[in-house]
Amino acid sequence: MFAAENGLKSDPRLQGISEAIRVVPHFPKQGLNSSLVFFFGVWLFNYFCCCGCCLTGIMFQDITTLLLDHKAFKDTVDIFVDRYRGMNISVVAGVEARGFVFGPAIALAIGAKFVPLRKPRKLPGEVISEAYELEYGTDCLEIHVGAVQSGERAIVIDDLVATGGTLSAAIRLLERVGAEVIECACVIGVREVKGQCRLNGKPLYILVEPRQIDNCC
């Protein structure tokens, strides 16, 4: 479990953080062919009285409910701040969009600047870009030229790591401008994170694993 690996297993705040994250099955789309889902859904309903959500594989981890819970939100930011304060970090890079929710608060608390890593055509100044693979197709992250100076110590913040493709692109971007990426940090980390080996050897700090379901039936 990530929490154990990170030495946070006994931190009582983690349960509250995990429980404040809403799990939304089938969002943003069905994980399997809809007829398959229907077939197995009927089968599951008949035999286990289950709606079949667990079959689809897609369990969207909705951090907007965490933001509504003042204690859980503050605990989340505090854990990151406690970890990175005093480490001479001068750059907190947040990945659009949900890394923008946690990154600025962490940056302010540890005395670092916040650098947004944005999706294409959002930044008005000169940018450098880094493409990455999605399940279907590719996407791209961009950083403003001049936002980070060579030699600066950086962390990358996002809400969730699944394949690790997004964080890998963020690392590559920062390294291209000469930053030293100390660690990547996410609130939620998928257990089967193939991303672990795609993070260019950089440590990955995760608070909780995704929950599987809230109201399956």
Ligand X SMILES: O=P(O)(O)OC[C@H]1O[C@H](OP(=O)(O)OP(=O)(O)O)[C@H](O)[C@@H]1O
Ligand Y SMILES: Nc1ncnc2[nH]cnc12
Check residue 21 for interaction with ligand Y (CB under 6 A). Answer: no
Check residue 100 for interaction with ligand Y (CB under 6 A). Answer: no
Rounded CA separation 91/42 (Å): 51
Quickly tell me which residue has 């594989």 as its tokens: 57
Q: Which of 177, 2, 212, 164 is nearest to 91 (CA)?
A: 177
In the complex, the smallest distance separating the C-beta of residue 195 from ligand X, rounded to whole angstroms, is 5
Would residue 172 show up in a list of annotated catalytic residues for this protein? no
Q: Which stretch binds ligand Y (CB under 6 A): 9-17, 58-66, 143-151, 196-204?
A: 58-66
What residues between 123 and 162 interact with ligand Y by CB under 6 A? 160, 162
Rounded CA separation 183/136 (Å): 27
Q: Binds 166, which of ligand Y, ligand X, none (CB < 5 to 8 A, cut-off by type)?
A: ligand X
Would residue 192 show up in a list of annotated catalytic residues for this protein? no
Question: Which of 83, 98, 118, 198 is flagged as catalytic?
Answer: 98
Check residue 39 for interaction with ligand Y (CB under 6 A). Answer: no
CA quadruple 160, 94, 116, 196: dihedral positive or negative? negative
Going through 52-196 in order, the beta strands assigned E by DSSP cover 59-62, 91-95, 113-117, 127-133, 138-144, 153-161, 180-189
Rounded CA separation 29/31 (Å): 6
Question: Which of 96, 130, 135, 175 is flagged as catalytic?
Answer: 135
User: Longest C-alpha distance within the chain, in Å?
Assistant: 61
Q: Binds 60, which of ligand Y, ligand X, none (CB < 5 to 8 A, cut-off by type)?
A: ligand Y
Given 19, 36, 50, 60, the residue binding ligand Y (CB under 6 A): 60
Check residue 168 for interaction with ligand Y (CB under 6 A). Answer: no
Check residue 76 for interaction with ligand Y (CB under 6 A). Answer: no
Binding site for ligand Y (CB under 6 A): 59-61, 160, 162
Residues taking part in catalysis? 98, 135
